[in-house]
């Protein structure tokens, strides 16, 4: 037993990617087990390791943690990425939850029918540029600090850089009206742990392709 956290999920981004980002940003090495077949998944259920029969699963500190937000909150709390007090924590939670709503649109995108795809990209663009990005652009402008909350690197910064890059993959010029976010993106990308995660060969997963979608449907279909 290595003591490193162990992640069980498909070999793709999905709901596990924010966990990979956060562990990597915290400088924590981790192992991964990839589900490729329905049999593997059914075995996990049969063995009773999935509390609600779902992945992500992260084995960490003697716990078999499930539920993405529970996992992320634990990691953030453990590695001091959750602000210095209850109020900073509240602000980080608000930011993270908003970003998660945006990321949900990206998460579901590969599974939408071909005829809906263009409309969905437009929705993502609309939400990103009208609802979410302006909030963070304003926050950074108002306090003029490097990080979103409390002048200190936190979970909120990691979640935002992940979201910016994910949206840019679909809408390359999406940051064109957001100079603060452009600078933020550059700054975060240059932080040593994040820089390492952004390099080839890291545990970061590529954008979902047809093969990934097929695997999801195969492993999880009822």
Report the nearest approach of other proteins to the CB of residue 57 (Å): 11
Report the nearest approach of other proteins to the CB of residue 50 (Å): 10
CB 27 within 8 A of CB 18: no
Report the nearest approach of other proteins to the CB of residue 61 (Å): 7
Residues engaged in binding other proteins (CB under 8 A): 51-53, 61, 63, 65-70, 73-74, 77-78, 86-87, 89-91, 93-94, 96-98, 101, 131-132, 135
Residues 6+ apart with CB under 8 A from 109: 117, 120, 121, 124, 170
Residues 6+ apart with CB under 8 A from 126: none
Q: Which C-beta is closer to other proteins: that of 39 or that of 101? A: 101
Q: Which C-beta is closer to other proteins: that of 69 or that of 84? A: 69
Tokens for 168, please give them: 């840019």
Q: Are strands 31-35 and 6-10 parallel, antiparallel or unpaired?
A: parallel
Report the nearest approach of other proteins to the CB of residue 188 (Å): 21
Q: Which C-beta is closer to other proteins: that of 90 or that of 211? A: 90
Question: Omega into 2 within 30° of 0, i.e. cis?
Answer: no
Q: Which C-beta is closer to other proteins: that of 149 or that of 194? A: 149
* Buried/exposed code over 65-84 (b: 16+ C-beta within 10 A; e: otherwise): bbebeebbbbbbeeeebbbe
Q: Which C-beta is closer to other proteins: that of 132 or that of 184? A: 132
Q: Which C-beta is closer to other proteins: that of 71 or that of 174? A: 71
Report the nearest approach of other proteins to the CB of residue 5 (Å): 13
Q: Are strands 57-60 and 31-35 parallel, antiparallel or unpaired?
A: unpaired
Report the nearest approach of other proteins to the CB of residue 78 (Å): 6
Helices 68-78 and 17-25 pack at an angle, to 10 degrees, of 0
CB 72 within 8 A of CB 155: yes
């Amino acid at each position: 037993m290595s003591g490193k956290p162990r992640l069980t999920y498909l070999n793709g981004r999905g709901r596990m990617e924010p966990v990979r980002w956060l562990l990597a940003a915290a400088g924590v090495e981790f192992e991964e087990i990839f589900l490729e077949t329905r049999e593997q998944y059914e075995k996990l259920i049969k063995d009773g390791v999935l509390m609600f029969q779902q992945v992500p699963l992260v084995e960490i500190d003697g716990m078999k943690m499930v539920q993405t937000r529970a996992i992320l909150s634990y990691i953030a709390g453990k590695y001091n990425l959750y602000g210095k007090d209850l109020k900073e924590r509240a602000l980080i939670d608000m930011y993270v939850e908003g970003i998660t709503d945006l990321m949900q649109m990206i998460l579901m995108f590969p599974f939408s029918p071909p005829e809906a795809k263009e409309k969905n990209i437009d929705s993502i663009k609309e939400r990103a540029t009208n609802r979410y990005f302006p909030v963070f652009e304003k926050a950074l402008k108002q306090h003029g600090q490097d990080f979103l909350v409390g002048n200190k690197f936190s979970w909120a910064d990691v979640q935002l850089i992940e979201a910016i890059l994910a949206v840019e993959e679909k809408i390359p010029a999406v940051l064109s009206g957001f100079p603060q976010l452009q600078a933020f993106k550059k700054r975060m990308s240059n932080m040593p742990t994040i820089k390492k995660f952004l390099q080839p060969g890291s545990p970061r997963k590529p954008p979902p392709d047809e093969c990934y979608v097929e695997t999801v449907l195969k492993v999880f279909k009822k």
